Amino acid sequence: MSNRIRRKTLDEQEIHSECRAIRAKGIDNVLLVTGEHKSKVGIDYFRRYVPLVRQEFSSLMMEVQPLSQAEYAELKGLGLDGVLVYQETYHPPTYRRHHLRGQKQDFVWRLETPDRLARPGIDKIGLGALIGLSDNWRADCYMVARHLLYMRHTYWQSRYSLSFPRLRPCAGGVTPASLMDEAQLLQVMCAFRLLAPEVEISLSTRESAHFRNHAVPIVVNSVSAGAKTQPGGYASDRPELEQFLPHDNRSPQEVAHVLIQQPVWKDWEPYLGRSAVAADSL
């Protein structure tokens, strides 16, 4: 809040331009992201523009400030499919050091957001922690697991996704209090795949192209591509507004080309208790 950086809120024409630019890249599944300024990007803003964006894409998710249950129910009726709401850290003292004003400083209000999402039947709910914000990323990952298990047991009708974003350089950025290397990141994702095989594990452009290429066939089943972190960045590239610096800057087409080079052959026999059929007989 105190960072003296340029900020931008898109108006209707700019949103139209962004939608056209994103569709031109072949993307049909989008995530809307805002800051937490209620008067500028609160429920009135979402009422006005969620239907507009939903008309352009087959799937629409949001990553915005925590809202009330009634507001989530209303947005579901306007076409919202899913919401990502990362706790950032499950360690209350660390949380208090980084959230100083407004409703965001209420640890419990944020923690209970997935419950408010699940009760009105939001289809997909994203959970996660910001790796490096606390001095013990293992404890935060453990708490993500406990949160996931609770949500799946209590609200089994919704689907869930997981992400493990590591702190990236940004304006006024925070120095990581703990470091997770790529081997540890992959190990954590594999642990969650074993814990909850059906849950979506996503990997964003925060990570390098090299790591993403090698992690996808092991454990990942959702990736972003061509992502911009500045408002209006698809129709007009303005790097001075970037929230953080992505690491993988490849286009969606380049990422798609890599993905289709990594097919999964017929592999369901072990799950049925059968021996695999010889490859030359397929």
- Nearest of 200, 210, 202, 201 to residue 250 by alpha carbon: 210
Q: What is the reported pLDDT for 276?
A: 58
Q: What is the reported pLDDT for 280?
A: 47
Q: Is residue 111 part of a domain?
A: yes
Q: With helix as H, strand as E and coil as C, how does 61-86 read? A: EEECCCCCHHHHHHHHHCCCCEEECC
Q: What is the reported pLDDT for 99?
A: 87
Q: What is the reported pLDDT for 246?
A: 81
Computed on alpha carbons and rounded to an integer, the radius of gyration of the chain in Å comes to: 19
Q: Is residue 188 part of a domain?
A: yes
Q: Is residue 232 part of a domain?
A: yes
**The domain containing residue 94 runs over which residues?**
12-281
Q: Is residue 3 part of a domain?
A: no
Q: Is residue 218 part of a domain?
A: yes
Q: What is the reported pLDDT for 233?
A: 83
Output the domain CATH number for residue 246.
3.20.20.70
Q: Is residue 186 part of a domain?
A: yes
Q: With helix as H, strand as E and coil as C, how does 161-208 read? A: EEECCECCCCCCCCCCCCCCCHHHHHHHHHHHHHHCCCCEEEECCCCC
- The values of phi and psi at residue 74, to 5°, are -65, -45
Q: Provide the domain count of the chain.
A: 1
Q: Is residue 6 part of a domain?
A: no
Q: What is the reported pLDDT for 174?
A: 77
Answer for the pair 247, 258: CB distance below 8 angstroms, yes or no. Answer: no
Q: Is residue 7 part of a domain?
A: no
Tens-of-pLDDT digits for all 282 residues of the chain? 666 777 788 999 999 999 999 999 889 999 998 877 777 888 999 999 999 999 999 999 999 999 999 999 999 999 999 999 999 999 999 999 988 888 889 999 999 999 999 999 999 999 999 999 999 999 999 999 999 999 999 999 999 999 999 987 665 667 889 999 999 999 999 999 999 999 999 999 999 999 999 999 899 999 999 888 888 888 886 666 666 778 888 999 999 998 888 766 666 677 677 765 554 444
pTM of model > 0.95: no
